[in-house]
Structure formats: C-alpha cells, structure tokens
C-alpha cells in the first residue's frame, strides 16, 4: 500500500514494485489519477482513493485492502504522501502550518494505525518517506522541516513499538528529487506570500527572493525519483532492511554535516549556501 502515488516518488514506487511482481494498492486522491495509473501499469496495480487527512477515506481504504487480501496480511506500507509549506515563520498563517502537520504527520499516523493490523498478519514492513529536511532544518522551510523531524521521531518510536511482531520500520531520506512537488510548493509559497501583510515584503522580500534563486539552483541538481523508488524496494525486500536510507548525490554529506557540525557553523554555512549570509 502506497500513499500519494499519483505523481513523483509515490508513482515511481508503484511502478517499480509492480515490475518486481508486487500487487500494489496505490493511493490517489481522484479517479482521473487512478485511471492514468491503471493504464500505465499491469493489472497488479489497484488504485485506492485516499486523502490522508480524511479519517473516513483512510478507514475505507483499509477496508478495501482488507477485503481484497481475503484474509491474508499486508506485506508493506509506504507512507509517502506529502506537501511543502514554506515562508517566514513570523508571518505564515497558522492554518497553513496546521495543514502541513495534518498531511505530513497526523495523516501518516492515521494511515499507519489503520493498516498495522493487516501488516501484523504478514510480519510486514513500513517504509516512511522522510527527507534530508528531517535531520537538517533550513530557513524559510520551517513547517516542512518540522513535519519531517516529527516523522523521523515517530518512525523511531514506531520501530521499537512494532518490533515484537517483526514489523520493520525504515526511513527514506532523499535530498532533492525531480518531482512535481517543486512547482506545487512554489505555487503554495506564492499564495502564502500574497496573503501576508505589506510589512512581510519589506522585512523578508530580499531574503525570499534569494531563497527562490537557491531553490531554482538546487532543483537543477535534483536526482531521479527512480533512485528513491529503488531504496524503497530495497527496504521492502532486503533480508535485513536498514533503519535509514539516505538517497541522492551529496545527501550523505549533508546528513553527516547535520549531525556533527556545531550549530553556529551550521547556520553560517547554510545561510551562505542560500545567499542569506550577512542579512
Ligand atoms: N521531491 C523532493 O525533492 C523530495 C525530497 C525529499 C522528500 N520528499 C518527500 O517525498 C514524498 C513524495 O513527494 P514527491 O516529491 O513525490 O511530490 P509529489 O509528486 O508532489 O507527490 C506528492 C504526493 O502526495 C499526495 N498528497 C498530497 N496531499 C495529500 C493528502 N492530503 N492525502 C493523500 N495524498 C496527498 C499527492 O497527491 P495529489 O497529486 O493528489 O496532490 C502526490 O501523490 C513527500 O513526502 C515529500 O516530502 C520529496
């Protein structure tokens, strides 16, 4: 079962797992995306409607999977659905920050709760799509980073809680990946900035512009979502799945930097990299 399989990493995971012979329940939010997926794959892929912020849809998706499995357990759950809310924390609307947590954190817990019984039957595996932003917080990406830090902590707790039943929990930590999330988050950021008072533009306008330029540069170095799908497949099939998979060029260095660099050095280097140094 994969959430957020309409585009990007989730879509690539669904197609890769299909190729490997898995029967895939692919979470989508509308019928059109489900039809596209069915056309692009074998009949082993079953689109399932699920918005992770809608408890009724989560329950209904779990029920559909339970009945399709006819008494068998579920082998894997890939918690992939996610959005990005960005902007200066001083001015972001609380409702936008709540939405970030609803989708990236609470939704993941809700889905996991609904499917754990089925996973237990198969000694299945959970694969949580985190991010390098789950270990390295950057300015103007506060809500997203906080949601992924939270997801990392929840995954660690979950891994120990579910150990008695042999359910493994792996985290995937990609760096930049070329998916539609970049355009979606840029649009969301533009809408957030428009909703802010004029003071926000005066105080943060140049910094926001510098961050936009950095995002454009970073996107050019983004890796293929296939690389992430490969790590997910590994977490689902390896004899001994790793607890964390760092994915993408340069991402391991960033993870080590996050872990070992002293705070002020880390701040300085991140801000320099983002064109914010000296502001
Ligand atoms: N791309 C990167 O650079 C990158 C790096 C590190 C981690 N990640 C993580 O990878 C995951 C997938 O992102 P992506 O890059 O593949 O982006 P994407 O192409 O935008 O995919 C996000 C998926 O999540 C779905 N989604 C959004 N809100 C949802 C909700 N409320 N309920 C259910 N599904 C929802 C989207 O569905 P709709 O199409 O219906 O909106 C879409 O299928 C995210 O968790 C993201 O944080 C991405």
Per-residue model confidence as pLDDT tens for the chain (279 residues): 999 999 999 999 999 999 999 999 999 999 999 999 999 888 999 999 999 999 999 999 999 999 999 999 999 999 999 999 999 999 999 999 999 999 999 999 999 999 999 999 999 999 999 999 999 999 999 999 999 999 999 999 999 999 999 999 999 999 999 999 999 999 999 999 999 999 999 999 999 999 999 999 999 999 999 999 999 999 999 999 999 999 999 999 999 999 999 999 999 999 999 999 776
The residues lining ligand 1, judged by C-beta closer than 6 Å to any ligand atom, are 3-10, 29, 50-53, 80-83, 103, 107, 129, 131, 174, 176-177, 179-181, 184, 222
- Are β-strands 76-79 and 168-174 bridged in parallel, bridged antiparallel, or unpaired? unpaired
When divided into structural domains, the chain yields a total of: 1
Of 75, 144, 204, 245, catalytic: 144
Rounded-to-integer distance, Cα 31 and Cα 36, Å: 9
Look up the CATH number of the domain holding residue 156.
3.40.50.720
**Token pair belonging to 144:** 């997203």
Give SS3 for 177. Answer: strand
User: Is 183 within a domain?
Assistant: yes
Give the residue, by CA position, lying nearest to ligand 1 atom 44: 82
User: Is 233 within a domain?
Assistant: yes
Residue 56 structural domain: 8-207+222-256
Angle at 18 between CA 17 and CA 21, to 5 degrees: 90
What secondary structure letter does DSSP report for 102?
A: I
What integer pLDDT is reported at residue 279 of this predicted model?
Answer: 63
Cβ atoms of residues 4 and 10 within 8 Å: yes
A 10 A CB-CB count for 230 gives 16
User: Is 80 within a domain?
Assistant: yes
User: Is 1 within a domain?
Assistant: no
């Amino acid at each position: 079962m994969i959430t957020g399989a309409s585009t990007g990493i989730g879509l690539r995971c669904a197609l890769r797992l299909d190729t490997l012979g898995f029967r895939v329940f692919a979470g989508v939010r509308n019928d059109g995306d489900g039809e596209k997926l069915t056309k692009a794959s074998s009949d082993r892929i079953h689109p399932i409607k699920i918005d992770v912020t809608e408890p009724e849809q989560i329950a209904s998706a779990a029920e559909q999977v339970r009945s399709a499995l006819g008494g068998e357990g579920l082998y894997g759950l890939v918690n992939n659905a996610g959005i990005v809310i960005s902007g200066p924390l001083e001015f972001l609307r609380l409702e936008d920050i709540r939405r970030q947590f609803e989708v990236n954190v609470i939704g993941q817990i809700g889905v996991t709760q609904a499917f754990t019984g089925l996973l237990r039957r198969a000694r299945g595996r959970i694969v949580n799509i985190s991010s390098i932003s789950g270990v390295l917080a950057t300015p103007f990406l506060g809500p997203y980073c906080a949601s992924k830090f939270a997801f990392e902590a929840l995954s660690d707790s979950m891994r120990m809680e579910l150990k008695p039943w042999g359910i493994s929990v792996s985290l995937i930590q990609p760096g930049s990946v070329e998916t539609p999330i970049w355009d979606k988050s840029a649009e969301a950021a533009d809408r957030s900035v428009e909703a802010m008072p004029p003071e926000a533009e005066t105080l943060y306008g140049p910094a926001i512009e510098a961050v936009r330029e950095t995002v454009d540069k970073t996107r050019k170095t983004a890796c293929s979502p296939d690389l992430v799908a490969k790590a997910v497949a590994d977490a689902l099939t390896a004899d001994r799945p790793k607890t964390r998979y760092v994915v993408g060029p340069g991402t391991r260095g960033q993870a080590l930097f996050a872990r070992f660099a002293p705070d002020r050095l880390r701040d300085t280097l991140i801000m320099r990299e983002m064109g914010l140094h000296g502001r």
